Chain A
């Protein structure tokens, strides 16, 4: 038996919005530690690694580890039937061919449940080694979304150049070119508005804006995003999943291989 109850159900709705355009289907691997999902997009260019920690749920029961094969578009459609303030419970029997979602209104005066068929998925997992990145850039997630959106006007790719002075995002195309420079924040009252660069070595890499724009769908989950880069390894874009009190409930991480010159 697997059962997980999340009082702040809107978090699960946001998690689905952050992956449904990038992935068609994926397995939720449920264990005592929590619910994990790892999947590549259909073109095998980007990788999503997602964790919802068991102690982030108000109730969590997982008698034995199970893998729930899910059509993510279907799950997203069902979660849209939940109100933003609903409590969401996910339930699956061992060896079941279906998963149940229960939505309770805060006053408990409206309870709905939806059963969705599970899929048999032959999933591939990639081993992601622990990496000490040369640069880790933390910035407001809304700022990163805006940069990706704005530079998409100019080209398909963005060059991210991280030095001790700050970060420069550049794009060029037939129209012309554009640059956005962010300096490290000297003094900010609010931590979520800060730009912080932790740099061991300067790095310049090129990435597809199409994929970065997919990643920014996770911005509603977190006020800050971190970009971790080293030469010749995939970029890691991480959004921490925090509840209203700021306690960590997990993360969504996206990995994207750099583009190389033809």
Chain B
């Protein structure tokens, strides 16, 4: 979808 950010943009991989 246009404008939809991925969640990993916000939360770092742990």
A residues apposed to B, CB below 8 Å: 40, 43-47, 124-129, 156, 206, 208, 210, 233-234, 255-262
Contacts and interface: CB of A to CB of B under 8 A. Distances in A.
B10 to A, nearest CB: 5
Given A208-B1, A259-B1, A125 B13 contact: yes
Contact of B4 (A47, A125, A259): A259
Nearest to B14: A127
Interface of B: 1-14
Contacts of A233: 10
B3 A255 contact: no
Nearest to A209: B1
Please report whether the interface of chain B is mostly helix, strand, loop or mixed according to DSSP.
Answer: loop
A126 to B, nearest CB: 4
A257 B4 CA distance: 7
Contacts of A208: 1, 4
B14 A45 contact: no
Contacts of A261: 3
Please report whether the interface of chain A is mostly helix, strand, loop or mixed according to DSSP.
Answer: loop
Given A156-B1, A259-B1, A47 B7 contact: yes
A208 B2 CA distance: 10
Given A126-B7, A127-B14, A234-B10, 5 more contacts: A43-B6, A124-B13, A126-B12, A127-B12, A208-B1
Q: Which 10 A-B pairs have CB atoms at the shortest separation, nearest pair first? A: A127-B14, A126-B11, A257-B5, A259-B3, A44-B6, A47-B7, A125-B14, A260-B3, A257-B7, A262-B3
Contacts of B4: 45, 208, 257, 259
Given A156-B1, A208-B1, A259-B1, A45 B10 contact: no
Contacts of A125: 13-14
A220 B5 CA distance: 29
A47 B11 contact: yes
Given A125-B13, A126-B12, A126-B13, A255 B7 contact: yes
A125 B10 CA distance: 13
A262 B4 CA distance: 9
